[in-house]
Structure 1
């Protein structure tokens, strides 16, 4: 038998310290269970379809319900959701690059019921996270209702289990039988939501919130404007930081790849450097994802607010309606440039993920050769 070079065997060091997110089986990612009334599925590529049982759901898809529309869907064969009438929710696409594979649902407006059950044939998604205009909800195996009113107020009622609510500066924990109403700043609102899970009560609360909003629209719009401006500025700053970290990671990734391809050597110094920078990149990617999802939810809030006021026939003074039109135009003008920036950033994240996978494959190939060499020596 041919003998492998002892020199080659001695110089191969198989210590990959980078991270790659395990591939998600998109065929099993999610699906619609059943629908009632008007339900629209907007795919991540912009194509629209009527919601129907067994339609697959993918990262980036958006569900919209009309008057009397209801859609029940699941993620990972065990996380059940019901989106009630006049609601909109999006599954974010960055779950594809999340090492923990935690899907996020962006609830722009309306009523979402969440129920976690025992998972069968799981593809291993982590517990979902729900974004509303004011808070982020981390689930802990629970059944609960989340309702977002047209002004961004969030009502949460827990039927059973435990959830954690991330506010701007702290966390709030709710358990079975507890409920809370939080404004866009995450602070308690004087509104009340009783009887968790009772949809008639939710309808009454949403109707009352719309009437309240119409009366205070002149005061609410500047708050929405300031919140949106702050969120977009924070996102743009995070894009700059993440771009810098991605550039710093690119150099050692390239050098390590070249080393494995040309001399079959894994450089430990580069490996340590990559590990530190990859950790920073993953952290920054998580922050980018959080800030992007917040902007997305806020951008969808104003159009829904306008639709709700129009559909309900709730009166608002002419000056307030004129200001609302100005704010809608502001968001419409602001978003295309921001979407272009975020799309470019997501491409960078996708490229880094692909580079990590390529490097891991090269290392696996080198490891295979290394083991084969040991077998040759052993046989010899």
Structure 2
């Protein structure tokens, strides 16, 4: 921008001089510029261009995108969040990162809530992002006029993979719903959109005696060196997070006793016989109908346990119950249960379980604890949190739901 300066010379004549306007001393980031953590979290190979070249840092950040001057191919790219624009030519432009939910949303499942016609599919997709671009008048967009504003609204949702068994249904996918609104002034200028993203929640731990004096508890990590205590309940975990479970025999010192797990399952209440169930272990082996199969953790003398045969450990992956008819997620409490017996190891009886073969050797009758399978249930419920209010409500209600150890 040139500035004209008018003055008077020594003879009193008017003189016009042109000067280039000086720049501001600093380039401040645009108000819409994403945080550095949002930008640095995107791997170079996953970067999705936000604008065509050439583009300045300021213009890039005004669009809510990340800028890296060192990247000559894709200097302006989307951050690992939701980036949405209402373009001046009347289109929605929406880029969704897989990391916008926890656990990450499955990008193949993201779709427009109402529009499924030609042109209502992603225009770009890679390992980390999916991008939609479509006219305001298409793909199920709703329209209304409020005052001097023309408002266009649409939604993106993600479908969930629901696994259905004979006694219940579960899912490990996040709930994703993105509401996008574009407001245009009828007089000509337009106003930025508003975006809302709704995600889902998470699971805890265990211990209750049975005739065999069994205990079921959850370790804080895969090393099984520390376990959650009463004050930690409910332990909050995200869908698909590992849960390190352990069942052990209490108050026994016979090294030839072997704990044998028969079945482990989850229910939405403390009643182990509730009709709605999800199997975790079946005949001592991971349930084959689960897409995140339970992992058995082998134990030996190197584990550091005095009687390793008195323990059984397994890793399951958190899920939430789903109504088999409506496919809606069921919020509330989830309890874990296991049935087990004790086998007396001898020359004739190895007391081992081979998976995936379901057949098991006969239990020896040499020990009085082996007659019938016993059951152990979680001490406290697993709670999938929908929001902060429900978290507080759930904690307040633990006293009346949890059974004594």
Identify the TM-score tier after normalising by the shorter chain.
Answer: under 0.3
Higher relative helix content: 1
Normalized against structure 1, the TM-score is what?
Answer: 0.21
Q: Which has the higher contact order (CA 8 A, sep 6+)?
A: 1
Higher alpha-carbon Rg? 2
